[in-house]
């Protein structure tokens, strides 16, 4: 029977990151992946003959440089641009503005609509640059210990350093950060800008994957976190990252098995992890198990009933993971323009009123007819993803409930696809007539295909009470009350999206 130092459950970007770091330190590591492909939500897949996506998600701006450098991913073919990709914010009246990595260039583009907003954008970026050191220190390191009863001298030193960093911003910047963090996006951005579609486009990333609208309290902190963490762009998208991670893992000596679904995490008579059992009955021994799947999948589905302490099950059950994202993949028989431009990334939203109206039905388990969209056209830079002269549109639809009252039937998904096409027609007239094929994935499909609990793309909602002590306080530092079991997925600090940081920090905890 095989024996490993660590078994990593899940071959997504976090699982591969954790496995490679452990293997580079001499550990014998096995990755077991349920699906027949690696990558999880970062896996590019053919959705129609000749047409492929580069991943379920398409934003790679949060992949951390320390992961790339530690795993030497550029030596394994990763090509990275140290600037964020340009994003086009679309308006229904045909206007658009491109958010460039260059602040002055962006301000010039905004000035065509509003000189006030151009000036405000420069001030906004100055503020973000000032607070980024504090924000990124918090999100790029293991979470601080904030449990009073378990505080050690080392914990107090860490907390003191973070307090000094905050104070080091200066009174004006510190007070502004403390003021805006609890604010809702609409109040915060309305104070600064006057152009509706610009405000909606800037706010959109803070609402992706969230059970929130632009008027929800504390939504501004999500915008601050996203803006500060988004620093680069991986050429080839998430699939290119997965390819480099796989090569790095194999070189480090990681054993990888696909089509290997874990049925149960095995414990010995003392309640200590001793390995896993795969579907089909095969048992594999290991001293430790690192789970990159969702916390609810880990604790509620991979152990027998009553095998864990009631208190642990209770708090894991309380994690909010209400999925609010769907996906439409479109194969198009022409080169696509949006508002008359060739673009790779684009956002819609138009106004806070429209975004809030899109969120309102979610509260009642219904679906809006006018969703706001996060669009990627990967064929803009990678023509190999479709036949010559054709396009792939990868469209994430937000404010779409997992627990749809009318159920996610074939007809319901068809209706969602039609609604998305109707929205896209506003920005690209005639697009519907050029559709070769369409794949619609509901939040329920996310759960079935990717094991995402309740279809949540981040393994749990990004809100202030589920960020620093993620997923629950007793598991917030990657180790768990189950001896030998660790967490290394998006349900852990610093959260979801394609960053590799939960895997990186989880592996560091195991080594320590």
Kind of pairing, strands 3-9 and 283-291? parallel
Beta strands in 110-243 (DSSP E): 233-234
The C-alpha atoms of residue 231 and residue 224 are separated, in whole angstroms, by 13
Asked if 460 and 491 count as a contact pair (C-beta separation under 8 A), the reply is: yes
pLDDT of residue 305: 87
**pLDDT (tens digit per residue) in 305-333:** 889 998 999 999 999 999 999 999 999 99
Q: Tokens 């129609």 map to which residue?
A: 48
The C-alpha atoms of residue 265 and residue 486 are separated, in whole angstroms, by 12
Helix (H) or strand (E) holding 506: helix 501-511
Measured from the Cβ of residue 109, the count of other Cβ atoms closer than 10 Å reads 19
DSSP line for 362-425: GGGT---SS-EEEEE-GGGT-GGGSSTT-EEEEEEEES--TT-TT---HHHHHHHHHHHHHHHH
Asked if 440 and 326 count as a contact pair (C-beta separation under 8 A), the reply is: yes
Q: 253 is written with which tokens?
A: 């000596």
Of 512, 426, 500, 497, nearest to 222 (Cα)? Answer: 497
Of 49, 53, 57, nearest to 378 (Cα)? Answer: 53
Backbone angles phi, psi at 149, to 5 degrees: -70, -15
The C-alpha atoms of residue 274 and residue 164 are separated, in whole angstroms, by 43
Asked if 54 and 240 count as a contact pair (C-beta separation under 8 A), the reply is: yes
CA angle 224, 454, 435 (to 5 degrees): 85
Bridge partners, 372 (sequence order): 398
Average pLDDT per block of 10 residues along the chain, 512 residues long:
89 98 98 97 97 96 96 97 95 96 97 97 96 91 68 58 70 87 95 97 95 95 94 95 98 98 96 96 97 97 91 95 97 97 96 96 94 96 96 97 96 97 97 97 97 97 89 94 97 96 97 92
Q: 457 is written with which tokens?
A: 């793309």
Bridge partners, 174 (sequence order): none
Assign 32 to helix, strand or coil: strand
pTM above 0.75, yes or no: yes
Measured from the Cβ of residue 98, the count of other Cβ atoms closer than 10 Å reads 16
* Strand ranges across the sheet with 325-332: 96-99, 87-90, 345-347, 372-376, 391-398, 325-332, 435-441
The C-alpha atoms of residue 448 and residue 297 are separated, in whole angstroms, by 12
Kind of pairing, strands 283-291 and 273-278? antiparallel
Q: 449 is written with which tokens?
A: 């295909």
Domain boundaries, the chain: 3-52+63-77+235-319+467-511, 103-233
Q: What is the mean pLDDT of the chain?
A: 94
Could you tell me where the DSSP H helices lie in 295-351?
A: 295-296, 310-317
Of 261, 297, 280, 322, nearest to 451 (Cα)? Answer: 297
The C-alpha atoms of residue 106 and residue 113 are separated, in whole angstroms, by 12
The C-alpha atoms of residue 196 and residue 467 are separated, in whole angstroms, by 29
Max intra-chain CA distance, the chain: 70
Within 8 A by CB and 6+ apart from 13, the residues are 39, 40, 42, 238, 241, 242, 245, 498, 500, 503
DSSP line for 428-477: STTGGGGEEEEEEE-HHHHHHHH--GGG-TTSS--SGGGTTT-S-GGGTT
Assign 228 to helix, strand or coil: helix
The C-alpha atoms of residue 263 and residue 280 are separated, in whole angstroms, by 8
Backbone angles phi, psi at 396, to 5 degrees: -90, 130
CATH class as words, domain 3-52+63-77+235-319+467-511: alpha beta
Which DSSP state fits 73?
G
Secondary structure percentages of the chain, helix, strand, coil, to 5: 45, 20, 40
**pLDDT (tens digit per residue) in 339-386:** 999 999 999 999 999 999 999 999 999 999 989 999 999 999 999 999
């Amino acid at each position: 029977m095989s024996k490993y130092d660590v078994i990593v459950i899940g071959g997504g970007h976090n699982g591969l990151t954790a496995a490679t770091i452990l293997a580079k330190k001499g550990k014998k590591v096995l990755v077991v992946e349920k699906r027949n492909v690696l990558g999880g939500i970062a896996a590019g897949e053919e959705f129609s003959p000749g047409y492929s996506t580069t991943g379920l998600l398409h934003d790679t701006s949060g992949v951390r440089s320390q992961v790339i450098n530690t795993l030497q991913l550029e030596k394994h073919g990763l090509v990275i641009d140290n600037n964020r990709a340009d994003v086009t914010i679309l308006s229904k009246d045909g206007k658009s503005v491109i958010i460039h990595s260059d602040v002055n260039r962006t301000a010039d583009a905004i000035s065509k609509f509003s000189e006030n907003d151009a000036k405000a954008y420069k001030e906004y970026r100055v503020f973000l640059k000032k607070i980024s050191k504090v924000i990124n220190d918090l999100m790029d390191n293991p979470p601080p210990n904030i449990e009073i009863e378990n505080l050690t001298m080392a914990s107090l030193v860490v907390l003191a350093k973070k307090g000094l960093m905050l104070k080091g911003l200066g009174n004006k910047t510190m007070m502004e950060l403390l003021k805006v963090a609890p604010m809702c996006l609409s109040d915060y951005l309305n104070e600064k800008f006057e152009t509706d579609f610009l405000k909606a486009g800037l706010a959109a990333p803070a609402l992706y994957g969230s059970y929130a609208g632009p008027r929800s309290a504390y939504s501004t902190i999500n915008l601050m976190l996203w803006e500060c963490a988004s620093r680069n762009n991986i050429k080839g998208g998430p699939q290119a990252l997965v390819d480099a991670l796989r090569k790095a893992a194999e070189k480090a000596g990681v054993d990888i098995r696909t089509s290997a679904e874990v049925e149960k995490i095995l414990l010995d008579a003392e309640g200590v992890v001793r390995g896993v059992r795969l579907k089909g009955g095969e048992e594999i021994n290991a001293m430790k198990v690192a789970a990159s799947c969702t916390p609810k999948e880990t604790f509620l589905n991979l152990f027998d009933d009553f095998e864990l302490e009631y208190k642990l099950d209770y708090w894991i059950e309380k994690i909010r993971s209400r999925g609010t994202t769907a996906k439409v993949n479109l194969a198009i028989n022409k080169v696509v323009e949006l508002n008359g431009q060739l673009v790779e990334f684009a956002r819609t939203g138009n106004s806070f009123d429209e975004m809030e109206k899109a969120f309102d039905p979610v509260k009642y388990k219904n679906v809006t007819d006018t969703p706001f969209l996060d669009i990627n056209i990967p064929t803009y830079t990678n023509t190999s993803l479709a036949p010559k002269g054709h396009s792939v549109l990868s469209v994430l639809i937000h404010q779409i409930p997992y627990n749809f009252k009318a159920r996610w039937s074939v007809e319901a998904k068809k209706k969602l696809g039609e609604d998305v096409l109707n929205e896209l027609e506003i920005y690209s007239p005639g697009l519907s007539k050029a559709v070769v094929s369409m794949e619609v994935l509901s939040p329920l499909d996310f759960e079935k295909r990717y094991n995402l609990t309740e279809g949540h793309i981040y393994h749990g909602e990004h809100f202030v009470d589920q960020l620093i002590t993620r997923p629950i306080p007793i598991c917030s530092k990657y180790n768990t009350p189950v001896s030998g079991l660790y967490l290394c997925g998006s349900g852990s600090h610093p959260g979801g999206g394609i960053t590799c940081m939960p895997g990186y920090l989880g592996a560091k905890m195991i080594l320590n």
